Structure formats: structure tokens, C-alpha cells
Amino acid sequence: MKSLSSIIFAILLLSFQIFNQPASCKVATKRKVEKDFQRQDLEALALQASDGVIHFTPEMFDDYVTGKRRPYALIVFCSAAHLLDKQQLNLRGLRKEFGLLATEVRKSGKSGVFFVDLEFKESKSIFHRLGVQSLPWIVHVNPNVAVGADGVIKFKQDDTMRHDDYGHHHWKAEDMAAFLRDKTGINIEKVDRPSFSRSGLFPVVFLAAVLALGAIAYNLYYAEFMKNLVLWTMGVLFVYWFSVSGGMHNIIRGVPLYYPDQEGKIKVFLPSNQGQLGLEGFIMGFMYLLFGLTVASLTFAVPKLADPSHRRTAAYVCIVFAGLVFKQIVDNYTWKTGYRWRIYF
Amino acid sequence: MAFSLRLFSVVKYESVIHEFDPYFNFRVTIYLTKEGFYNLWNWFDDITWYPLGRVVGGTVYPGLIWTAGVMFKVLHALNVPINVQEVCVFTAPLFSAFCSLAAYLLVKEIRGRGAGLTAAAFMAMVPSYISRSVAGSFDNEGVAIFALVFVFFLYVKALNTGSLAWSSAAALAYLYMVASWGGYSFIINLLPIHCLASIFTGRLTAKLYIAYAPLIVLGTLEAASIPVVGFNAVLMSEHFGAFFAFGILHAALAIRYIKDILPVKAYNAAKTLVLTSGVVLMSGILLLVLFYVMSSPTFGWTGRSLSLLDPTYASKYIPIIASVSEHQPPAWPSYFTDLQAASILMPAGLIALFWPLTPASLFLILYACTAVYFSGVMVRLMLVLAPAACCLAGVALHEALAALFKGVHAEQREQESRPPKEDAKAKKPSSKPAKASFWSNLPGFSETGRPIPRDAALTRGGDGSIHIFDDFREGYAWLRYNTPEDAVVASWWDYGYQTTAMANRTVLVDNNTWNNTHIATVGRAMASPEKQAWEIYRALDVTHVLVIFGGFIGYPSDDINKFLWMVRIGGGVFPDIKEKDFLGEGGYRVDNKAGKALLDCLMYKLSYYRYAEASLMTTGQMGFDRVRNVQIGKMDVTLEYFEEVFTSEHWMVRIYKVLDRPARDIKLPNPRSTRGKPRKSSLS
């Protein structure tokens, strides 16, 4: 008896399911259609965008991302307008590279992935939900990631491309393409950079530039000020100053001129043997130069003074001044490197 | 003085060869003395770059080796029974003495004897050059800097005298320079710049033609006959400048000739005609060159030169160039460390050279200006700047002293009414800062200039006594006497030369970084998990793996610190190696927040195998790394495919054997392990 009732219950359950299925199917279909519409919307938006990157407002994020799953993947680039000009972050450059990749994907006709960017001030809550702690930050929203209406969205660790992932954040579009390949399987072999040097106009412009340069050079050659040695001396001294200040070091490493310490005071000197800050280098380069100039004036300017007593005073001033500069250089050097300095006589 | 200053290293460490590259040169010199000059050209070295080998004769700059070989042969012909090693150790100091003489001659040509003398004094003790030419540093730069200065001297001499003999001598010296060092491309670019500058500042003379033209023609021919340069001498963009200036020089002379023979009106008409047609012709040629250049990915330039012109190039595209420490851009203290007082006297020298501006002084200005720019890009080129800085400082010091003492002489000669005593008093102290800075060269170099040999690191004990860690030689000696002759040793490329020279064993890669893929393979193996690494090594017939580990005694330039470059270089060829997998929280670290791939990779395992227990005894903390100053992330390192066979006294050199098949049971207690053994204590 008991077994009979359980069979009946099972049949009932089954029939209920059979009846129920079309209903749930309908909901699913409706949702699918809706999602497909959304997909078409996004495709249209991507086409409208200049470089294939769609700018998302928080509302759009809710519309297009929220849900259990989506028929498309999203690559989200998190940016902040007030940090765009910060050199170290290089957000502007990264955004450009991101755009290049998006254009490339759009050109290749591969579908199923959209490129999106978000702005911090506009979408603060979204940033919080994505868990963005530092910029630049690129995240891949997998079609199967469930995104609730609010609350933190959980991503896998490797779905993000983060600030310190590559040891540097001068990511190129190629790096992002590798990320894209890993995550979505869309393979972009080569990112085409719009370059002037490949256009047909290039040889003409190049020739024109060469001719213009030639003309300028021709005129300069006969210009009076080109024979002015003082000008040339200053040029050479500038090269000297720039090099000894480690100007190249500053450019290659991209070091800031100075940085504020914890108390907000500006620190100019880096107390480490390795590397330097920008301003520090220029100051020291200037001191090197100052010493040399003082010696030079002692040699050339002072003897030209007519009055012997003036001459003597000027010489003393030069010597004392050169001595002070020299002492300052050595002191800074000892402080910086820790190498002691001894004079053996 | 230049010679004797450089002998401190022998006094301190005995007469050995230092650093990495000199070991290779030393090995080649031994071959040369045994087999003769001719056979050197055909030498195929099969114990390096296994399994590829290396054609040494065609890929080496032979100048240094010839020099040492000739010295050896001459001494033996004179019945002086000297060892090859001694010849090699003392070659560089000898040539630095020659270099001082060359500096004297150069500046004497430009500014007279007094300036020459001061310049030579600076040259003798500039730390940058001392560091490369100290006894035992048997490296190309040691002789090449002499050759560089000597070429410049002969060029300037030819420029001043207009004698074809000096010009030919310059071409011969240039041959020696090309044979010695890749830095010859600096000369071949500097001379055209000087030539062009002379033409455009109206200093075009027959003397310039005699100095410049033969040097370019003969020099290019000579350069092409050195196998390692070969046809690069006409094909690479680095040399185009010279030919361009050569053409301009002829054009300028032709214009002058025409100007002389034609009446003014006809000359002006001809000038317009020639200018127009010349411009059209030149633009056509330029376009052709441009297309040729654009068709190659690096625009026909070698990577190293490109990284000079576009300083950010190397850090972006060629990790192997960016990885070498001497290719880093210097910060301001480097100039003072390397050049001492010469660095700050340079501006005064530059100004002195402008009045009066002669072709010769123009040359020195251009030399200094280009060298100081290049040194800003790569710290290694400080060496090229050093002679220029010394010459300028010499000029500056001479001028300053001359100006100061002129008064004294004048007083004495003219017997003016003012008592000379007072005047002398007034002038006397004035030479002090210059002198002080001059002499302060001496202490500076003793602190910083001399490199500590890499094969015998040195520290000072708490009581001031000096400990010498001889682990490297210990390790190489072990390899030499305990491994079969056909053993193949894998290590990072830094140690390749030393392994072949000191241990006489075959290596996969060495300091001649000609094959990036091969180096990347080694980097990949080091960065792979143990099993994959084992497969790679087995495929390459490797029998032993050598790692350098500094965590035990705090030797910072060990393989763990170089590891990120192995990953970068490996990842440059094999995309499956990704740098970010090896980075932990906040960057590269070896503690428990390290990247997962790092904790699994072979390099980590080989470095820290059995280290946890060992560090307990020295630092009192399990697995405390004294270089990184952290506790390592994974204490319990086990090895399945490798067997530890040797660890040197201070753990700096660790050698592992590659097993034929995986060890059966790695869980068995390690016979060397101290863990698990009953501890002896005073109570028991």
C-alpha cells in the first residue's frame, strides 16, 4: 500500500513537472529574447563608439550586466577622469591601447565580447562592487558569472588584469589581446596601429620635411647668430647638465620629480643609493655645473678685471664659493652613497 | 702611477682573473698560445652553447687576445718563462699606462704640454677606467680605451699636421680598435660628426680631408676584414653616417673648387643648378635608403645602438639587454663615483676649449658632448666618457693653474712696486680647491673604484678582519674533479664563461648572449615545475645544474634575485611563462605571499632545498633568507628528479645532479637532514 502511494506521488510529481515545463521554458525564452535584444543594443552601441569601446553609466551596467548569465562576455576597463593626467598610471595611454584592441576585434567580426569602460566618479558604487582597489584595472565579466542587483561581484583571481600583474602597467594592446585570448578564446594575432608612416602620403610629406629642413639649415648656415660661440657653449653645457643630472634616468624610469611623504612634506632627495628623484638629479646636476662655472670664471673672467684689488677679491670669492659648492657636493654624495671621503695630505 | 695603482687587487687577492668575461678571454688566450694565431680563426668551441657550439674565431673581438698572445710569445722568445695567466692579469694595467700616455699626447696636440700632463694624471686614476683595467680584469675594455684615445690622438695629429703618415697611422690604430671592442662604432660615428661640424662651421681645410677621408676608406676596409664585424661595416646603419659625411666632404670640396675657377655670376648660377639637382638626387637616395631600412624590423640598427637613440627601446623590447646591470641609466652619484673630480671640472674644460676654437678643440668638445649624452643612457658608456672627462678636466685644471700663477710670474719678471710677497700670498690659496679635488681622486677610488672579484667575495668581520669567501672557486674545482669530462652543466648564462674556463665542463649558455632562444630555454627550465624542467634538461643532455644562492651569507647577486629576468627572457620566447604568475602580493617576493609558480619552480627548489634547517643554525629562524630578509614561503622542499651533490662552504654554489629517472621514494628521510634526528643535548 505504501509503495502504491509512493508510485502515485511520483507520477503526480512527474506530471506536474511536465505541465510546469512549458511555463518555465516560456520565461527562459522570454529572457533569452530580452538578452538577445540587449546584445543587439550593445552591438549597435559598439558600432557607434569611435573605437568600439562602449562607455557604461551605472544604469547601463545594471541593464546589461545584472543577471545570472549573459550571451556575451564583457571586458571592462576601469578608469578615472581625475587621474587621467597622472603620468605614473598612464591611464590615457592604456585606454588608447584598449581602444585599439576593441577596434581590432570589431574589425575581425568576432562577436560575443564587448569592450566597456567605466568612470570612477560616475560609477563609484560599481567600482566598489567590482572590488577595484587600484587603477589600472581591467576585468573580464564571464558570461556565466552571476551578477546580483547589488553586493560585491565575485570574480576569479585571474579574471582581472591588475596594477601589478605584469610588474609594470605599460600594457600594450598586445598584452590585452593575450588576456582576451586566455579568457575568451578570441585570438587577435596582430594589433594594427594607425601609423602615418604606412600611408601613401608619407613619402611626399617626408620629402617635404627633408626639403624644409634643408632650407632651414641653409638659412641657418648663413645666419649671424649661428657663429655666436656663447650660444654653442650654452648648448654644450646644457647637454652636460642634463646628462649628469641623470635626465635620461628620469625619462627611462619615469621617476617623479618629487614625492610627498607621510606628513605631506615634499621630499626631493631619495635616501637610497639606487636611483634618484627627478628634482634631486637636476639640483645636483646644477651644482656640478656651478662648480665648473666657478672654476671657469676664476680662469677667464677674473683675470680680465683691471683693478688688481678687485681682481684679488673676486678670486677669493670664487675660491671660497667653489670650495663651498664642492663641500656640498661631497656631503650630499656621502649622504647618498655612504662612501666616505678622505683627503690624504 | 697608472700601472701601480692597478696592482692593489693582486696584493689583496693574489694574481687571479676576476669577473666573468675575462675568463672566456683567458681561455681563448690559452688556446691561442697553444695552437697559434692562425688556428684561432677556425676554432670551433664545442664545450659551450651545448649542443650548438660556438665558432669562436668568427664571433670574438680578437684584439685583446692577440695582444696578450703577442706579449706571451715575445716574452718567451726572450726566455722569460712567464705563465699565460700572469700575462693576462697584467695586460690591462700595462695598457692603462699606455692610455695615460695617449691622453697626454691627445691633449698636448689640442692644448699644449701642461694640459696634457694634467689630463694624463686624471686619466691615470679615473675610477671608471680603473675598475675595468685593474690587474686581473682581462677584458676588452682594458685595451680598447687605450686604442680609442690613441685613434683620437692620431686623428687630431693628422688634423693638425695634415700629414698622410699620421692619417694612415690613425687608420691602423682604428684597425686595432675594431679588433678590440664593439665600441668602435662610437669612433665611426664621432668622426663624421666632427667632419660635418667642421664643414658647416667653415673649417673645411685640406688637412681635414687628409685626416678624415683615408681613415674612413681604410678603416672600413679593415673593419670588414675582422670576421666579427665583416660586412656589417657597410651594411649596418651605424656606419652610414661615416659614408654620408664622406660624400658631403667631397661635395663641399668640389663646390669650393668650382667657386675658385668660375666667375661670381656663373658660380651663383651653377650653385642654384647643383643645389636643385642635388636635392632631387639626395631625396631619391634617401627614399631608397628609407625603404631598405624600413623593411627590417629594427630599421637596420643593432639593438644596442637603438637603445642609445631611443633610451626606452631596450626596456620595452629586449629584456636580455635591459637585464644587464651595466646597461642601466645612471643617476647623479654615478658620475661622481666614476669620474670623481673630473666630472665637476668638465664644464670649465668645455668653456676653455671654446676660446680659442680650433678644429682639434672642436673635436674634443664634440667627443665630450656625445659621450656625456650616451653615458646618461647606459652606465657602461661612462667608460667612453672617462677619457673625455679626463682630458677636459686636465684642460680646466691647467688653465686655472696657469691663470693663477701667471700673476706670480708677471710680478717676478716685471718687478712692480707692490711687494711680491703680498701678491704671492693672495694667489697661493687659490689653487687649493682645484688641488684638493685633484688629489681627492686618490681616496675615492680606493673606496669605490676597484671591483670586488666575483669569484671571491669579501666581507669584513666584526673585529675588522677580512673574510674571503672562496665559494665560487670551490664549486668550480668540485665540478672539475668530481664530474665526468663530458658532463653538461646548466646554469644561468652569467656563470657560463667561468664554468668553461675554471671547471672545463660543457655549458648550455654563456655570457656571449648570441642566441636568445637558447638562453630562454634555460630560463624556461628554471622557471618550470621540477618535472618539466627535468624533461627539458634531459632533452639537452644536461647532467648537472648549478645555482648560485646567497641567502645563507647575504650575497645579493644570486640567482633568486636574477630570477625575474630568467622569467622575462624565457617568457619572451615561450609565452607559457608569464611573469605575473611569479609575482606575489605587491611584487616579487619569496615569503609565503609569493606567487604560486615561484614556489613550485625549479630555481626556487634548488635554491632552498634543505635550507630551512640550515638557516635555523645560523640565523636561529627556520628558513630565514638573509638577502631578502624574509622567511621563505615553502620550508619543506623535496626533490624528485634532481639530487644534491655539492654545496659549498657558505652555500653560495649549489650543484645538483640530474637523475636518470625520478627518485623512487622522496619521502624517505634525507640522510643529510638534521630534522627528525635525535638532538644531542647536554642533558642526555
Is the pLDDT at B48 greater than 70? The verdict is yes
Mean pLDDT is highest, among A171-175, B68-72, B353-357, B452-456, for B68-72
Helices and strands, counts by H and E, chain A: 10, 7
Model pLDDT, residue A61:
78
Decide which of A184, A211, A246 is a domain's last residue: A184
Kindly state whether residue A85 falls inside one of the protein's structural domains. yes
Mean pLDDT for the stretch of residues B259-272: 80
Flag whether pLDDT at B418 surpasses 50.
no
**A154 found inside a domain:** yes
Helix (H) or strand (E) holding A266: strand A266-267
Question: CA neighbours within 13 Å on the CB side: how many for B241?
Answer: 15
Cα-based angle A200, A206, A208 (whole degrees, multiple of 5): 110
Angle between helices A278-296 and A308-337 (to 10 degrees): 150
Q: Does A84 touch chain B (CB under 8 A)?
A: no
Task: Tell me the shortest Cα–Cα distance from A201 to chain B, in angstroms.
Answer: 13
Surface of B (197-216) touching A: CB under 8 A: 200-201
DSSP structure string for B364-408 = HHHHHHHHHHHHHH-GGGHHHHHHHHHHHHHHHHHHHHHHHHHHH
For residues B491-515, average pLDDT: 81
B133 pLDDT more than 60: yes
Chain A residue at shortest CA distance from B333: A333
On the question of pLDDT at B175 being above 60, the answer is yes
CATH of segment(s) B467-658: 3.40.50.12610
pLDDT tens sequence across A203-223: 777 778 877 887 887 777 777
Distance of CA B383 to the CA centre of its chain: 8
pLDDT tens per residue, range A246-260: 887 887 777 777 777
Res B112: pLDDT: 85
Cβ atoms of B396 and B361 within 8 Å: the answer is no
pLDDT tops 80 at residue B171: yes
Please count the residues of chain A: 345
- Tell me which of B344, B364, B369, B589 to substitute to probe the interface with A (most A C-beta atoms closer than 10 Å): B344
Region B324-329: what's the mean pLDDT?
70
Report the C-alpha gap between B19 and B455 in whole angstroms.
Answer: 7
Its pTM stands at 0.70
Asked whether the beta carbons of B142 and B189 are under 8 A apart, the reply is: no
Q: Is the model more confident about A100 or about A197?
A: A100
Percent of all residues in chain B with a pLDDT value above 90, rounded to a whole number:
9
Residues A48 and A168 in one domain: yes
Asked whether residue A300 is domain-assigned, the answer is yes
Q: What is the arithmetic mean of pLDDT over A28-54?
A: 74
> Does the bond joining B51 to the residue before it have cis omega, within 30 degrees of 0?
yes
Is residue B375 within 8 angstroms of chain A, CB to CB? yes
Within a 13 Å sphere around the CA of A186, how many CA atoms are in the beta-carbon half? Answer: 24
Determine the residue among A202, A252, A312 to mutate to test chain B binding: the one whose Cβ has the most chain B Cβ atoms within 10 Å: A252
- pLDDT of residue A49 exceeding 50, the answer is yes
How many Å is the Cα radius of gyration of chain B?
29
Give the SS3 label for residue B547: strand
Catalogue the long-range contacts made by B537-542 (C-beta closer than 8 Å, 24 or more residues apart).
B537/B490, B537/B658, B538/B658, B540/B50, B540/B51, B540/B488, B540/B490, B540/B508, B541/B50, B541/B51, B541/B488, B542/B488, B542/B489, B542/B490, B542/B508, B542/B658
Write out residues 309-368 of B within 8 Å (CB-CB) of A. 311-312, 315-316, 329-337, 343-352, 354-355, 357, 365, 368
Which helix (H) or strand (E) element contains residue A267?
Answer: strand A266-267
Structurally, chain A folds into a number of domains equal to: 2
Most confident of A101-115, B159-173, B650-664: B159-173
From CA A331, how far away is CA A26, in angstroms rounded?
82
Nearest CA in chain A to B312: A252
Nearest CA in chain A to B279: A211
A76-86: per-residue pLDDT in tens?
Answer: 888 887 777 77
Helices (H), B112-239: 113-124, 127-133, 140-161, 164-180, 184-200, 206-224, 232-235
pLDDT category of residue B443 using cuts at 50, 70 and 90 = very low
The residue type of B240 is: F
Range of the domain at A68: 32-184
User: Among A282-291, B151-160, B379-388, B463-472, where is mean pLDDT lowest?
Assistant: B463-472
Q: Indicate which CATH number applies to the domain containing A134.
A: 3.40.30.10
Segment B79-87 mean pLDDT = 85
Amino acid at B109: E
- Say whether B443 and A344 touch across the interface (CB within 8 A): yes
Beta bridge partners of A139: A76, A160
In degrees and rounded to multiples of 5, residue B154 shows phi and psi of -65, -35
Lowest mean pLDDT among A156-170, B40-54, B282-296: A156-170
What is the model's pLDDT at position B415?
40
H and E: helices and strands count for chain B:
34, 11
- pLDDT at residue B167, rounded to an integer: 92
> Chain A contacts of B404, Cβ < 8 Å?
298, 315
Q: Which residues numbered 263-302 in A keep a CB inside 8 Å of some CB on B?
A: 273-276, 280-281, 284-285, 288-289, 291-293, 295-296, 298-300, 302
Minimum mean pLDDT among B245-249, B369-373, B633-637: which range? Answer: B633-637
- Judged by CB atoms closer than 8 Å, whether chains meet at A296 and B403 is answered as no
Residue ranges of the domains in chain B? 162-397, 467-658
In this complex, the residue of B345, B373, B436 whose CB is nearest that of residue A295 is B345
Which residues contact residue B333 at a Cβ distance below 8 angstroms, ignoring those fewer than 6 apart? A273, A276, A333, A336, A337
3-class state of residue A160 by DSSP: strand
Taking only Cα atoms into account, the Rg of chain A, rounded to an integer number of angstroms, comes to: 34
Digit-coded pLDDT (tens) for B594-647: 888 888 888 888 888 888 888 887 777 888 888 888 888 888 888 888 888 888
Nearest C-alpha of chain A: how many angstroms from B251? 15
Q: Respond yes or no on whether ipTM tops 0.85.
A: no
In 10 A of CB B12, how many CB atoms?
14
